[in-house]
Amino acid sequence: MSVINYNYAANNAANSISRNERLMDKTMAKLSSGLQIGVGHNDPGRLSTYMTLKADAATSRTGIGSINNAIAELKVVEATAMHLANLLSKMTELALKSSQADVNQPDREAMDEEFKGHLLDFVRITTDTVYNGTSVMNGGGKTVSTGGTTNITYVSDNFRINASAASGSGIATGATTVGTTNSGGGATAGMSTIIAAATNIIPATLQETINNPARARLTVAKLGTMIPQFAGAVSRVGGLISRLEFAGDAQAGRAVALENAASTVGDTDYAVETARLASAQVISQAATAILAQANARSSTVLTLLK
């Protein structure tokens, strides 16, 4: 039946075209942005979840950066401490030689001069070793942000050779008292780097000196106590590095999981959306053709009136 009061077929086709255009708009927005959410009419119920996952993943990545920064700092400490351990071995060798009774005094004084140089180098290295502008060989507590709700806290040892603590705790050399004049202070004392008084000492020495056999033996005793303690401190640094590397790996895994979750929730599935777009384009073309035919009904009515 042909009527002109209400062209329902044309209106149905127009409605189909409008719905299909909205679908194509959504699909093209997803394809062009790579996101299936983020536009007001594209799955708004999942936007909060997606944004939270993205933020958590970014926070985790920041935590990985902090952990890697701490690892880099500790590796500087470890490498420096290994060099200092070699200095302790060299100083022990000189002190042992000087402690022998058959060494003549000029040779002993030469060894003392070399010993003094190594001791001062030890102090210089611990003072000059910095990371990002901060001294790192003096020990102390560190807090590393992991990007989670809790942080990693650790305490590194003080690697200065003239440092001491009543219990020796936190001191790489294990020294419990300060070193005193003429290598004194006991086997668990630190080493004094104070220049000795010039009276009756030629050439000048430090308070920690090996310029005679008795003093050399005192120094040997100190070094015999220090070296195993120092090696333990270096090992503890290695343990901290290992711990942080494991934490970094775990945090990296967490970041990847969060990023994958965010992608699953919010990223466009191109296989699905391109199929939808192709389907919508076919429907759009078909609906346009149907609309043209529906509008042509008026011509049929006019033909009947002739």
Residue % of the chain over a pLDDT of 90: 58
Predicted local distance difference test score (pLDDT) of residue 18: 73
Q: Is residue 149 part of a domain?
A: yes
- CA dist 263 and 124 (Å) reads 52
124 lies in a domain?
Answer: yes
Least confident of 7-16, 165-174, 214-223: 7-16
> Is 181 a member of any domain?
yes
Give percent of the chain with pLDDT exceeding 70: 78
**Cα–Cα distance measured from residue 301 to residue 145, given in angstroms and rounded to the nearest whole number:** 80
pLDDT tens, position by position, 25-79:
677 667 666 667 665 556 666 777 888 888 889 999 999 999 999 999 999 999 9
Does 88 fall in a domain? Answer: yes
pLDDT at 2: 46
Of the two residues 92 and 270, the one the predictor is more confident about is: 92
Asked if residue 148 is part of any domain, the answer here is yes
pLDDT reported for residue 1: 42
Residue 104 within a domain: yes
Q: Which residue has the higher pLDDT, 87 or 270?
A: 87
| Mean pLDDT score, 206-233 | 96
Q: Which of 182, 191, 235, 173 is nearest to 211 (CA)?
A: 182
Count of domains in the chain? Answer: 1
The DSSP-derived string for 55-98 is HHHHHHHHHHHHHHHHHHHHHHHHHHHHHHHHHHHHHHHHHHHH
Residue 109 forms part of a structural domain: yes
Tell me whether residue 51 is in a domain.
Answer: no
Any idea what the CATH number is for the domain that residue 146 is in?
A: 1.20.1330.10
Parent domain of 181 = 63-264
- 235-253 pLDDT, tens per residue? 999 999 999 999 999 999 9
Residue 260: per-residue pLDDT: 85
Rounded average pLDDT over 170-199: 90
